Amino acid sequence: MWCFLPLFFWYKEVHVDVLQDSLYSVDALLKNHERFEKLMEQQVEHIEDVKQFTAKLEPQHHYAWDEIKERCQAVEDRHARLQSSCKARRTKLGDSHNYQIFLRNLYEVSNTLDYTYKLVVFKSLSSFKRHGTTLAITNKSEE
């Protein structure tokens, strides 16, 4: 149980609900989250040990049975809350990752379209010059 509590508080302090603004930083957060999930998997054994030990003490009518049962239930509840917040965080990070990929693709398409537009305008102007066609731009103040 002593191993589980610092992990819970570390997760609560470090993982605030601020998602990053670049694909690189979201990927870094995803890697950190994966490491955290691996740590959580290691803690499951400790939680199961606590449950088993609690189950062994029940038939012995231990003098502090109520407190033991209460603490075991508190650990199980914290673990369940941590798992649900971990899943929610994974979902948010996945959504943020997909959004950053969308933005990257959008910027690429936008830049390609801008370049294509400029190229078309340049080619059309150069074709006017090649064929001897001039564009007359009149100023209304001259008329």
- Kindly state the average pLDDT of the residues 15-39: 82
DSSP summary character for residue 86: H
Asked whether the beta carbons of 85 and 42 are under 8 A apart, the reply is no
- In whole angstroms, give the CA distance from residue 92 to residue 101: 14
- Kindly state the average pLDDT of the residues 34-40: 92
Q: What is the pLDDT of residue 16?
A: 47
Averaged pLDDT of the chain: 80
Asked whether the beta carbons of 15 and 89 are under 8 A apart, the reply is yes
- In whole angstroms, give the CA distance from residue 19 to residue 126: 48
Residue type, 97: H
Give tens-digit pLDDT for 52-110.
989 888 888 888 888 989 999 999 999 999 999 999 999 999 999 999 999 999 999 99
For CA atoms 77, 80, 82, 88, give the dihedral sign: negative
Place of tokens 């508190």: 74
Q: What is the pLDDT of residue 23?
A: 87
Three-class secondary structure of residue 21 per DSSP: coil
Output the six-digit token pair for 71: 């603490």
